[in-house]
Amino acid sequence: MSPEDFLKEIQAVGEKFLLKLQKLPKADPVEIASFSVVLLFIATVLVLTIIACSCCCYSCCGCDGPDPRHKKSRVRPAA
């Protein structure tokens, strides 16, 4: 898929979304509830992705995190 086709597809999805939003005030309650559930799902996925990426970045990059050399402690056997 070329970048132009991808942009056209994104634009088509955006136009469908705006059309759906414009028709939403006249929709029946079931349609409003289902649309709300879909939006809530998308928002949840985005928030969880941001949290996962920030935790990964924190542990991988060492962004002022704990020093990995001090994680292991030596245990001596009891005499």
The pLDDT tens digits along the chain (79 residues) read 788 899 999 999 999 988 988 888 888 999 889 989 998 999 999 999 998 888 777 666 655 555 555 555 667 777 6
51 is written with which tokens?
A: 């949290």
45-58 burial string, b = 16+ CB within 10 Å, else e? Answer: eeeeeeeeeeeeee
pTM over 0.85: no
Angle at 68 between CA 65 and CA 71, to 5 degrees: 110
Q: How does DSSP assign the chain, residue by residue? A: --HHHHHHHHHHHHHHHHHHHHHGGGS-HHHHHHHHHHHHHHHHHHHHHHHHHHHHHHHHH-TT---GGGS----PPP-
